[in-house]
């Protein structure tokens, strides 16, 4: 399976085809139904062997959408455009890891903080916690449980924060896989300048340090902002940190 697959629906369809549904003993929904959530939280359960959400609760309070409007495609497409690509890459890498390392998957936890769109058109910061709810007979991911929490009241940042925990995980290799598409996003010279921008240096000081003119630095800075679709220095730094560039 390929983390570079851009279409999440196609990717999940591949997951569905790889899971032996007959080998799965379905758990009861009672533990989830009894699970207490706050007004700023919602939960859903994905059955990867059927490629659909089989339980959902709390979406009206958090996102303003009725439960019957919540599908996998909705969840994949409801993410802020600036966050979509990297969030999809994180999800794909996590699912692939769970399938390819069945002996290490029982306690896996994925946490991501990103932006989702409410029905009124506004975006809120969501903290998502995902765990494995059920495994097939080979110990592979079959069903996944996720809880979304609206954290906008305490966190208005635009950058993406995430963390994946799994037994015996090589965190460096995993993050390299997630960030692979951004490895050559900027040139070496542009990255040098971004690193200095992150230190708060002016164009003149950056020029002196890199032995180029401040006008050349200014031109690079303009191209860097254009390439990343960022409108300020702060946005640029958040963009780069969120994608493992610096």
Q: What is the pLDDT of residues 164-196, one digit of tens each?
A: 999 889 999 999 999 999 999 999 999 999 999
**Considering the chain, what is the average pLDDT of its residues?**
90
pLDDT, position 24: 47
Classify domain 8-181 at the CATH superfamily level. Answer: PAS domain (3.30.450.20)
> Which pTM was predicted?
0.88
Range(s) of the chain covered by CATH 1.10.10.10 = 184-242
pLDDT of 221 strictly over 70? yes
Cα(65)–Cα(56) distance, rounded to whole angstroms? 12
Residue spans in the chain of domains classed CATH 3.30.450.20: 8-181
Angle 233-242/188-198 helices, nearest 10 degrees? Answer: 120
Domain topology for 184-242: Arc Repressor Mutant, subunit A (1.10.10)
Per-residue pLDDT tens digits for 107-164: 899 999 999 999 999 999 999 999 999 887 777 888 999 999 999 998 777 889 999 9
Q: Which residues of 140-159 are buried (b: 16+ CB within 10 A; e: fewer)?
A: bbbbbbbbbbbebeeeeebb
Tokens at 122, concatenated = 């506004």
Q: What are phi and psi of 187, to 5 degrees?
A: -75, 165
């Amino acid at each position: 399976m390929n983390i570079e697959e851009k279409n999440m629906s196609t990717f999940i369809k591949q997951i569905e085809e790889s899971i032996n549904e007959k080998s799965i003993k379905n758990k009861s929904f009672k533990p989830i139904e009894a699970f207490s959530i706050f007004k700023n939280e919602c939960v859903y359960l994905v059955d990867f062997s059927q490629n659909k959400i089989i339980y959902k609760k709390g979406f009206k309070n958090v996102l303003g959408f009725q439960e019957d409007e919540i599908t996998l495609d909705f969840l994949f497409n409801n993410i802020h455009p600036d966050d979509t690509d990297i969030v999809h890459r994180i999800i794909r890498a996590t699912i692939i890891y769970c399938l390819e390392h069945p002996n290490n998957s029982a306690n896996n936890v994925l946490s991501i903080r990103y932006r989702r769109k409410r029905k009124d058109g506004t975006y809120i910061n969501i903290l998502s916690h995902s765990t494995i709810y059920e495994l097939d007979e080979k110990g592979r991911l079959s069903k996944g449980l996720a809880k979304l929490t609206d954290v906008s009241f305490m966190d208005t940042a635009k950058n993406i924060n995430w963390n994946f925990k799994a037994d015996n995980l090589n965190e460096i290799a995993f993050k390299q896989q997630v960030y692979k598409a951004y490895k050559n996003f900027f040139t070496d010279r542009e990255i040098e300048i971004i690193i200095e921008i992150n230190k708060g240096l002016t164009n003149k000081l950056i020029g002196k340090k890199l032995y180029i003119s401040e006008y050349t630095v200014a031109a690079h800075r303009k191209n860097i902002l254009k390439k990343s679709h960022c409108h300020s220095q702060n946005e640029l730094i958040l963009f780069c940190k969120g994608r493992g560039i610096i």
